[in-house]
Chains A and B, each alone.
Chain A
């Protein structure tokens, strides 16, 4: 009653302010590091950047704060990418790649063994404190993509940038879309294919945001 009289009652009292939901998009490669070569002559660094821009627009339209590691064709080493992600204190970090091998979307989490997150983590293995959350995020992304009839493969790998990130982090590799006979239907730089996958990823991140706020 006293609190009410003082005007301090209400839903905001005693509750933490709603947490920011930040997504870091890391378009892999750039500058001198061209990445792989697509079959149609495109470079991986250009295709990842276009996917990053597309996904950023979709997320921003849904009210999600997005931090990108690069917005142009510039060189960034893995440590710089991890620094940007860690400064953003993000709830999701996505490293975007493309390839000509395999099909659909390949999702990778760090293969570091999970350890309890502490205030000070070793730089090269900082992701170990977040691996469990990264695997959960990978599951959410995988479900959304499979729901959209995209071929998804899951794995774990050692990727320097990801391994230093202190956030749920997943590397996404966009491979060609293929039919049942393994014939290529769409290359990774196909705008429609990119838009389809980006839409599914954005939907998955909305679901992840809801789950994050419910916890």
Chain B
């Protein structure tokens, strides 16, 4: 015969199991109903889209060897480096479109990064790290000319059409677009996959520092 205290414990356990089963079923039903009603209680917030602002792209045309300004409204980030990457990405997207006046494949993804650094001063001497730090400390860093370092993807250079005209136009349009949207950018250097490269696709020299004044039709010599 089963002792009395064991029978009581067994009965309590059976009742507790039944109660837990009912509770689980109830919770499941409740969640099921919540999902069916489409209520999203996720704590994430949708990313804010920057308001569109006017951007000027210097668009190349192979037919007449020209670089012409084209104005667009684009949502651009406030940060200078992100803004530079965004405008260059849009420029290369235009080149990758069908019927482009300067066909180059790759598009926006071809620009890995853009870095903005203090450029050479009027005296011609490049600011050292300490000088740049001093300039920042006294507030001059936000007003001086800047050097933009554009890091392109290797796939972009590998697929770029080879030729003096087409490569020169790509370089000039990148320099011109940077200067048009970030007027303090006065010099541009190029890297490909983070390293210096002799030429874009066999012609245009990528070891040089380009002056943006040469890429601006009103200021430089360009058709």
Contacts and interface: CB of A to CB of B under 8 A. Distances in A.
Interface in B134-162: 161-162
Given A99-B163, A106-B165, A153-B165, A159 B202 contact: no
A149 B65 CA distance: 18
B163 A100 contact: yes
A175 B201 CA distance: 16
B12 to A, nearest CB: 86
A27 to B, nearest CB: 14
B161 A100 contact: yes
B164 A171 contact: yes
B8 interface: no
Contacts of B7: none
B64 interface: yes
B208 A103 contact: no
Contacts of A106: 65, 164-165
A155 B198 CA distance: 20
Contacts of B171: 158
Contacts of A111: 214, 221
Interface stretch (A7-15, A29-37, A85-93, A202-210): A29-37
B204 interface: yes
B223 interface: yes
A33 B199 CA distance: 12
Given A29-B202, A160-B205, A163-B205, A155 B163 contact: no
A161 to B, nearest CB: 10
A70 to B, nearest CB: 16
A154 interface: yes
Given A36-B202, A106-B65, A157 B164 contact: yes
Contact of A158 (B161, B205, B222): B205
Interface in B178-223: 198-199, 201-205, 207-208, 210, 214, 221-223
A158 B64 contact: no
Chain B, interface residues (CB within 8 Å), range: 20 to 34
* Max chain A Cβ within 10 angstroms of own Cβ: one of B62, B64, B210: B62
B168 A101 contact: no
A160 B171 CA distance: 15
B166 interface: yes
A139 B47 CA distance: 55
Contacts of B63: 102-103, 182
A146 interface: no
A130 B198 CA distance: 23
Nearest to A45: B202
B205 A159 contact: yes
Given A101-B62, A153-B65, A155-B222, A160 B166 contact: no
B198 A160 contact: yes
Interface string B35-65: 0000000000000000000000000001111
Interface in B56-107: 62-65
Contacts of B204: 157-159
A173 B208 CA distance: 21
Interface of B: 62-65, 161-166, 168, 171, 198-199, 201-205, 207-208, 210, 214, 221-223
Top 8 nearest A-B pairs by Cβ distance? A99-B163, A36-B162, A153-B65, A158-B205, A157-B168, A101-B166, A173-B164, A106-B165
Interface of A: 29, 33, 35-37, 44, 97, 99-103, 106, 108, 111, 153-160, 163, 171, 173, 175, 182
Given A99-B162, A158-B205, A173-B163, 8 more contacts: A36-B202, A99-B163, A99-B165, A102-B163, A106-B164, A153-B223, A157-B164, A158-B171
8 contacts: A102-B165, A108-B164, A108-B165, A111-B214, A153-B65, A157-B168, A158-B205, A159-B164
